[in-house]
């Protein structure tokens, strides 16, 4: 088997890539990385000195690919499956990539800022930064809710499941635990559809044993 994913089941960016792999039934091996273990962390940083998961290794050509969006783009190019995660049509592809960046920058990032603050020592916390992150999440919820209501979309950009949905599911799962979005009924309905998608449900299920470590 040529593909190995270096990941952790609780990592939302790792879940993003897992969803893409599961969506297309792409064969791969798993290598769990424990950044709290010096040996595991050191081995991973030899592959990617930044130390951010996930990382994909393709033994065909001995390629190492980092960053979740780039990994999914790589899979789309070299290991395509039945679900086309990035449309061939340029304008549609741009909409998918924009939605991917939206969820990474305006849902994923503020969610992780809140989580990171919870993990800090009490005297190192940043209440102002947390409130700014929560405000960004609320703004993002409103944008998604409005888009879903206006266009009656099934998935992030239309009727086709794409990279954007891989990007949306994990941060929405965790963000909802920190800043609930139930009042945004169209967003909540979208997340319910995401949660029932087999590829998403599988990634979420594999994270369940580790949720006790989530500081939400």
Domain membership of residue 84 (yes or no) is no
Note whether 99 and 62 are same-domain residues. Answer: no
Note whether 99 and 39 are same-domain residues. Answer: no
What's the chain's average pLDDT? 95
Domain membership of residue 72 (yes or no) is yes
Last-in-domain residue among 78, 98, 121? 78
Tens-place pLDDT, residues 68-96: 999 999 999 999 999 999 999 999 999 99
Q: What pLDDT does 1 receive?
A: 66
* Whether pLDDT at 103 is above 70: yes
Last-in-domain residue among 30, 50, 78? 78
Confidence of residue 35 (pLDDT cuts 50, 70, 90): confident
Is residue 155 a contact partner of residue 162, using CB atoms and an 8 Å limit?
Answer: yes
Note whether 118 and 28 are same-domain residues. Answer: no
Whole domain around residue 169: which residue ranges?
90-197
Beta carbons within 8 Å of 36's beta carbon, 6+ residues apart: none
Q: At 14, which CATH number?
A: 3.40.30.10
* Whether pLDDT at 148 is above 80: yes
Tens-place pLDDT, residues 124-140: 999 999 999 999 999 99
- Among the residue ranges 48-52, 97-101, 122-126, 134-138, the one predicted with the least confidence is 48-52
């Amino acid at each position: 088997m040529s593909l190995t994913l270096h990941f952790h089941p609780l990592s939302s960016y790792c879940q993003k890539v897992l969803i893409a792999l599961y969506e297309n039934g792409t064969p791969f091996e798993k290598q769990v990385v424990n950044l709290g273990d010096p040996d595991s962390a050191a081995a991973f940083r030899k592959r990617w000195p930044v130390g951010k998961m996930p990382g994909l290794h393709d033994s065909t050509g001995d390629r190492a690919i980092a960053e979740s969006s780039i990994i999914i783009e790589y899979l789309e190019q070299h290991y395509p499956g039945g679900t086309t995660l990035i449309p061939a049509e340029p304008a549609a592809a741009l909409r998918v990539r924009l939605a991917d960046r939206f969820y990474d920058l305006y849902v994923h990032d503020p969610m992780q800022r809140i989580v990171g603050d919870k993990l800090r020592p009490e005297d190192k916390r940043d209440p102002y930064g947390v409130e700014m992150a929560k405000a960004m999440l609320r703004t993002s919820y409103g944008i998604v809710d409005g888009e879903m209501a206006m266009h009656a979309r099934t998935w992030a950009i239309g009727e086709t499941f794409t990279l954007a949905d891989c990007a949306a599911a994990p941060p929405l799962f965790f963000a909802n635990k920190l800043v609930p979005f139930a009042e945004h009924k169209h967003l909540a309905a979208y997340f319910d559809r995401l949660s029932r998608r087999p590829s998403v449900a599988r990634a979420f299920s594999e994270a369940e044993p580790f949720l006790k470590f989530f500081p939400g």
